Amino acid sequence: MQFDQLISEMRRLALLAGDEIMKIYGAEDFEVRSKSDASPVTEADEAADALISAGLRAAFPSVPLVTEEQAATHGQSLSTFLIVDPLDGTKEFVQRRGDFTVNIAYVENGVPRFGVVYAPAKDRLFYTLAEGGAVEEKAPFGPQPGETVAIGVNSMPDNRALMVVASKSHRDAATDEYIARYGVRDMTSAGSSLKFCLVATGEADLYPRLGRTMEWDTAAGDAVLRGAGGKVVRFDDHTDLTYGKPGFENPFFIAFAPGVLLAKD
């Protein structure tokens, strides 16, 4: 595997998928359907998925692929694979809030090693580098990478005054109760995998998720956050969140800057 090629292709496909998504986002109306788990899906999800999955399979035919919109890929047992959420934050997309992302990641031996997170409505693009680390690329985005800025977590968060980011669509009483254990300076909300990226850039210090997520929801943002020096751990025992779990379902988790002193159960 040539990791420079991998990251270049993931970036290219994320941008192309973002273009397709924005064409539909800008339309006066689009169809919204419910999947078997009652979650929404639109033609934008499907168009982005078709483009990304075809591109990844053509470029990396020997690497297994898992993608949210193709149920046939969900029954695999894998430790090294590509994983895609072509439109994370469909509720934000449908409500035209802009907090939706394209997510492509490469998991190696259960660890999300490389990832791309693209928020096309916000002109924000984050990705990991082959040599390590993570960057945010500045708009406008072209076929070749433009200006990039290295990103990193807040290295010395003040545990008496943390910035916390939580979900826009999935905030609940259990999450609020957990957040109340910390000294919080302020809170912000964001949709999709942008929450990981806000911690990765130091715009937030802590992102707890006490709700159901799947690995395609988190892998790319997790990779970017780890590349920026952050951590993602299970909520129950604070061990590292791993990937390739049965059914690709995550436990509750906490994403944070390592200087944050995690509350104990």
Domain ranges of the chain: 3-150, 162-256
85 among the known binding-site residues? Answer: yes
- pLDDT, the chain, mean: 94
CA distance 242 to 215: 9
Q: What is the pLDDT of residues 166-198, one digit of tens each?
A: 987 677 889 999 999 999 999 998 988 999 999
CATH tag for 3-150 (out of 3.40.50.2300, 3.30.540.10, 4.10.91.20, 1.10.10.10) = 3.30.540.10
Copy the structure tokens of residue 12.
């290219």
With cut-offs at 50, 70 and 90, classify the pLDDT of residue 39: low
CA distance 204 to 78: 32
Mean pLDDT of 77-101: 93
Among candidate residues 19, 87, 71, the one with its CA nearest the CA of residue 247: 71
87 among the known binding-site residues? Answer: yes
4 among the known binding-site residues? Answer: no
210 among the known binding-site residues? Answer: no
Among residues of the chain, what percentage have pLDDT more than 70?
95
Least confident of 65-74, 86-95, 120-129, 245-254: 86-95
Q: What is the structure's pLDDT at 97?
A: 87
Non-local (6+) Cβ contacts of 170 within 8 A are 209, 211
CA distance 166 to 74: 27
Non-local (6+) Cβ contacts of 222 within 8 A are 105, 112, 115, 196, 232, 241, 255
Backbone dihedral region of 244: left (phi > 0), alpha (psi from -120 to 50 degrees) or beta?
left
Copy the structure tokens of residue 120.
């096309």
Q: What is the third-level CATH fold of 162-256?
A: D-Maltodextrin-Binding Protein; domain 2 (3.40.190)
With cut-offs at 50, 70 and 90, classify the pLDDT of residue 265: low
Give the SS3 label for residue 17.
helix
Among candidate residues 193, 175, 156, 181, the one with its CA nearest the CA of residue 263: 181
123 among the known binding-site residues? Answer: no
Q: What is the DSSP string of 93-139?
A: HHTT-S--EEEEEEEETTEEEEEEEEETTTTEEEEE-TTS-EEEEPS
89 among the known binding-site residues? Answer: yes
b vs e for 219-239, b when ≥16 Cβ sit within 10 Å of the residue's Cβ?
bbbbbbbbbbbbbbbebeeee
With cut-offs at 50, 70 and 90, classify the pLDDT of residue 38: low
How many C-beta atoms lie closer than 10 Å to residue 107's C-beta?
Answer: 26
Q: What is the pLDDT of residues 13-27, one digit of tens each?
A: 999 999 999 999 988
191 among the known binding-site residues? Answer: no
The set of long-range contacts for 69-74, using a CB threshold of 8 Å and a minimum separation of 24, is: 69/41, 69/45, 74/247, 74/248
